[in-house]
Structure 1
Amino acid sequence: MTKTCDKVWDTCLSIIKDIVEWQHFKTWFEPITPVDLKENVLTIQVPSQFFYEYLEEHYIGLLGKTLKRELGKEARLEYRIMMDSGNQASKPITMDVPAQGYKTYTNNEMDFPLVINNPVKNPFVIPGLKKVQIDSQLNPVYTFDAFIEGDCNRVARRAGKTVAEKPGATSFNPLVIYGGVGLGKTHLAQSIGNEVKHTHPGKVVLYVSSEKFINQFMDHSRNNAVNDFIHFYQLIDVLIIDDVQFFSRAEKTQDAFFAIFNHLHQSGKQLILTSDKPPKDLDGVQERLLSRFRWGLSADLQVPDYETRIEILERKMKNDGLDMSKEVVKYLAYNISSNVRELEGALISLLAQSSLNKREIDLELAKKVLRNFVKTSSKEITIETIQKMVCDFFNVPYDKLLEKTRKREVVQARQITMYLAKMFTKNSLKTIGEHFGGRDHTTVIHSFQTVKDLMDTDLLYRESVMELQQKIQLAAM
Structure 2
Amino acid sequence: MVVNGVTHIELPGRFCDSLQEPEVALPCFVAGPENRLTVAAFQRLMDPDPLDSSLAFFNPFVLVGPTGSGKSHLARGICRKYHLLFGDEGVAYFTAIDFARQLQTAREEAGLEVFRDRLSNVSLLIVEDLQKLPEREFVQRELRDLIELLVSAERIVLITSQQSPSTMLQQEVGLCDRLASGLTIQLRPPSFPARQEILQMAAGSYAVSLNSQQLESIAKSVDGPAPQLLRALAKVKLDCCHDLDASQLGEPIRLKQIIAVVARYFSITQAALCSPNRRKSLVHARAVVVHLARKLTDLSYTQIGQGLGRRDHTTIMQAHRNIRQLLADDPAIQQSLDQLQRILTAP
Under TM normalisation by the shorter chain, which class is it?
Answer: 0.5 to 0.7
CA distance in 2, matches of 1:260, 1:147: 29
Among 92, 104, 107, the residue aligned to 1:218: 104
Among 13, 16, 19, the residue aligned to 1:138: 19
Other-structure match for 1:152: 34
CA distance in 2, matches of 1:346, 1:321: 14
Among 231, 236, 239, the residue aligned to 2:125: 239
CA distance in 1, matches of 2:75, 2:96: 13
Once the two structures are TM-superposed, the CA of residue 210 in structure 1 deviates from its matched residue by 1.0
Once the two structures are TM-superposed, the CA of residue 145 in structure 1 deviates from its matched residue by 4.6
8 Å contact from structure 1 (residues 138, 206) kept in 2: no
Once the two structures are TM-superposed, the CA of residue 337 in structure 1 deviates from its matched residue by 1.2
Which residues of 2 match residues 227-266 of structure 1 at below 5 A?
Answer: 227-247=113-133, 249-266=135-152
Give the aligned residue type for 2:103: F
Change (3 A) 1:218 1:136: farther
8 Å contact from structure 1 (residues 242, 275) kept in 2: yes
Other-structure match for 1:161: 43
8 Å contact from structure 1 (residues 143, 195) kept in 2: no
Runs of 4+ more than 6 Å apart: 140-144
Q: Does 1:291 align with 2:177?
A: yes
Cα offsets for 1:35-59 (capped at 9, x unmatched): xxxxxxxxxxxxxxxxxxxxxxxxx
Other-structure match for 1:194: 80
5+ residue gaps, structure 1, are 1-134, 360-477
Q: Does 1:309 align with 2:190?
A: no
Question: Per the alignment, in what secondary structure is the counterpart of residue 292 of structure 1?
Answer: helix
Give the aligned residue type for 1:315: M
Using CA pairs under 8 Å that are at least 6 residues apart, name the structure with larger relative contact order, 1 or 2: 2
Among 253, 272, 276, the residue aligned to 2:158: 272
CA distance in 1, matches of 2:73, 2:141: 28
Once the two structures are TM-superposed, the CA of residue 166 in structure 1 deviates from its matched residue by 1.9
8 Å contact from structure 1 (residues 143, 190) kept in 2: no
Change (3 A) 1:136 1:283: farther
Once the two structures are TM-superposed, the CA of residue 245 in structure 1 deviates from its matched residue by 1.2
CA distance in 2, matches of 1:283, 1:254: 13
Aligned residues: 225
CA distance in 1, matches of 2:113, 2:89: 23
Give the aligned residue type for 1:293: L
8 Å contact from structure 1 (residues 174, 295) kept in 2: yes
8 Å contact from structure 1 (residues 239, 271) kept in 2: yes
Give the aligned residue type for 1:273: I
5+ residue gaps, structure 2, are 1-15, 246-347
Change (3 A) 1:210 1:160: same
Give the aligned residue type for 1:139: Q
8 Å contact from structure 1 (residues 136, 205) kept in 2: no
Q: Does 1:339 align with 2:225?
A: yes
Q: Which TM-score applies when normalising by structure 2?
A: 0.58
8 Å contact from structure 1 (residues 248, 283) kept in 2: no
Change (3 A) 1:234 1:357: farther
Structure with larger Rg: 1
CA distance in 2, matches of 1:353, 1:167: 48
Cα offsets for 1:71-104 (capped at 9, x unmatched): xxxxxxxxxxxxxxxxxxxxxxxxxxxxxxxxxx
Other-structure match for 2:280: none
Q: Does 1:350 align with 2:231?
A: no
Change (3 A) 1:232 1:221: same
CA distance in 2, matches of 1:206, 1:143: 22
Change (3 A) 1:200 1:228: closer
8 Å contact from structure 1 (residues 167, 238) kept in 2: no
CA distance in 2, matches of 1:136, 1:231: 24
Which residues of 2 match residues 447-466 of structure 1 at below 5 A?
Answer: none
Once the two structures are TM-superposed, the CA of residue 321 in structure 1 deviates from its matched residue by 4.0
CA distance in 1, matches of 2:39, 2:134: 27
Other-structure match for 1:71: none
Other-structure match for 2:340: none
8 Å contact from structure 2 (residues 97, 134) kept in 1: no
Question: Per the alignment, in what secondary structure is the counterpart of residue 122 of structure 2?
Answer: coil
Once the two structures are TM-superposed, the CA of residue 219 in structure 1 deviates from its matched residue by 2.0
CA distance in 2, matches of 1:180, 1:137: 24
Give the aligned residue type for 2:158: I
Identical-pair percentage: 21
Once the two structures are TM-superposed, the CA of residue 357 in structure 1 deviates from its matched residue by 4.5
Give the aligned residue type for 2:19: L
Question: Per the alignment, in what secondary structure is the counterpart of residue 206 of structure 1?
Answer: strand
Cα offsets for 1:162-207 (capped at 9, x unmatched): 1222278512211111011111011111222223334556971222
Once the two structures are TM-superposed, the CA of residue 272 in structure 1 deviates from its matched residue by 0.5
Question: Per the alignment, in what secondary structure is the counterpart of residue 33 of structure 2?
Answer: coil
Change (3 A) 1:181 1:202: closer
Which residues of 2 match residues 62-73 of structure 1 at below 5 A?
Answer: none
RMSD: 2.7
Which residues of 2 match residues 93-172 of structure 1 at below 5 A?
Answer: 137-139=18-20, 145-166=27-48, 169=53, 170=55, 171-172=57-58
